[in-house]
Amino acid sequence: MADTQIFPRFAGKTVLVTGAGTGFGAEIAVRAAQEGAQVAVHYNSSRAGAEKTLERIREAGSDGILVQANIGSWDQIKAMADAVWEAFGTLDVLVNNVGDVSSEQMSWRELTQESLDAVIDIDVKGTLLMTHEFGERMLEQGHGNIVNVGSTVIVRGSPRAPQYAAAKYGILGITKSYAKAFAPAVRVNTFAPGFMETERLLQREDWKSGRREVLISQTPMGHIPPPEFVAGTCLWLATDEAAHLTGGYMLADGGFNMVGA
């Protein structure tokens, strides 16, 4: 993978990334800081990870704040929004990254009521409530961008965890609905990364027992990247270059799916 040059696409901007204490969220937050943004780092339980992300943001020459909330709770989302606007005075970009992927589940037969409820509460209800609350405030200020992190799982489904595929498909409905509701002042899009070698994925039993090699053999680009490799692609949806793109679904999976129109 070649080194990429980083441009200050978010100089003077403010960005909130949910689930930014670990994995893809942390890399999106750091990349936004490298591109000039002040960043609000959201976490629910992984405060230590969020603090580490904030340290990396400061090492990148920017600054930010920590915000904590369970995004299954509208009241906690409202309180987080209050904290972000109090600290920054505005919010230019929201990246709804946080999500439950039921990573411990290896078969549809292992579905439980609890795992179904957890995924729907976070991935569907949480994404909808975040988009609703923050989008409404962005609309009031007259500008903003929302990027919902989806998944390529909607293309092929998931015999491993059907509730995960269902929830990610739900995000498309949320994205399209609010894209229409908030246009033209606020754009809403879905970014769908393919497999990324996060710590969570590296620990999954199926990943350690041959699935990684199978997927690489089916991926034209020939590798499964670390999350930082596609963080800039995710943020592109919130740049002026994407000014005429709303309600969209963009994949970055190394050519694995090559979805048609």
Classify 60 in phi/psi space as left (phi over 0), alpha (psi -120 to 50) or beta: alpha
Task: Provide the β-strand partners of residue 39.
Answer: 15, 64
Task: State the sign of the Cα–Cα–Cα–Cα dihedral 260, 178, 147, 193.
Answer: negative
The DSSP H or E segment spanning 202 is: helix 199-202
Specify burial of residue 41 (Cβ count, 10 A radius: 0-12, 13-18, 19+): buried
- State yes or no: is 178 an active-site residue: no
- Which residue in 43, 164, 178, 249 is the catalytic one? 164
**Cis bond upstream, residue 184 (ω within 30):** yes
Rounded Cα–Cα distance for residues 26 and 132 (Å): 23
DSSP 207: I
| Alpha-carbon distances of 12 from 42, 93, 97, 119, 234, rounded to whole Å | 20, 12, 22, 35, 19
CB 145, CB 186: distance < 8 Å: yes
Task: Provide the β-strand partners of residue 53.
Answer: none
Rounded Cα–Cα distance for residues 61 and 48 (Å): 20
> What is the set of active-site residues?
164
